[in-house]
Every structure is written in C-alpha cells, then in structure tokens.
C-alpha cells in the first residue's frame, strides 16, 4: 500500500500532471464530505452564538427606544417612535448631548 493511502499527504506529482490513476486518487482525497460528531457540536455552538448575538443586538436597540421615549415624549415605553413629532422646540438641540452623557 502506498504511503499516501495510509494517511500521509498525497504525492506532489499528482498536482503536476502525474498519471491518471494518481490524479483520480488525489481528486477523491479532496472530495471527502463525511460528517463527524464535531459537526453537530460546531452547529450547536453556531446556534448559541447566533442567539446570543440576536439578544446582544436587541438590548441596545430597546435602550435607544426607551431613552428616546423618555426624553422626547416623557413616557416610560420601549415602543419604537420617531422623534420627528416632538414638542420640545429648541431643547431638541440639547437632548442628543444629554443622551450621549447617559
């Protein structure tokens, strides 16, 4: 049995135009799509990280909504509202500065 068939790297001559048998074996070696147990663990890690990232994106957005409602409309709410309909007059210039300090 050749060395590369026992787990060693395939010969470098297969990529340089060696015989058709060696090229076929080299192609078969590259086409290993078998799944291992590690694939399931990696998928579970991806699901957990994706869920945590979703929560990590939602929390700052909810805080922005809360402070927008608090400062512009004087209400305690997480509802998404636009500050375009405020009734603060010139104080609207100072509010972003105060929000940046919070």
- What percent of the chain has a predicted confidence (pLDDT) above 70? 67
Please give the biggest Cα pair distance in the chain. Answer: 86
Which tokens in the block code for residue 89? 């007059």
Q: What is the pTM for the complete model shown?
A: 0.53
Residue 48 or 90, more confident: 48
Burial class of residue 34 in the structure, from the number of CB atoms within 10 Å of its CB (0-12 exposed, 13-18 middle, 19+ buried)? exposed
Those residues whose C-beta lies under 8 Å from the C-beta of residue 99, and which sit 6 or more positions away, are 67, 71
């Amino acid at each position: 049995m050749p060395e590369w068939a026992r787990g060693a790297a395939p010969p470098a001559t297969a990529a340089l135009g060696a015989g058709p048998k060696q090229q076929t074996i080299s192609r078969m070696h590259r086409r290993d799509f078998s799944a291992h147990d590690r694939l399931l663990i990696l998928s579970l890690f991806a699901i957990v990280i994706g869920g945590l990232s979703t929560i990590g994106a939602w929390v700052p957005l909810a805080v922005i909504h809360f402070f927008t409602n608090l400062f512009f409309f004087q209400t305690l709410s997480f509802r998404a509202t636009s500050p375009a309909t405020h009734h603060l007059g010139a104080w609207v210039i100072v509010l972003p500065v105060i929000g940046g300090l919070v």
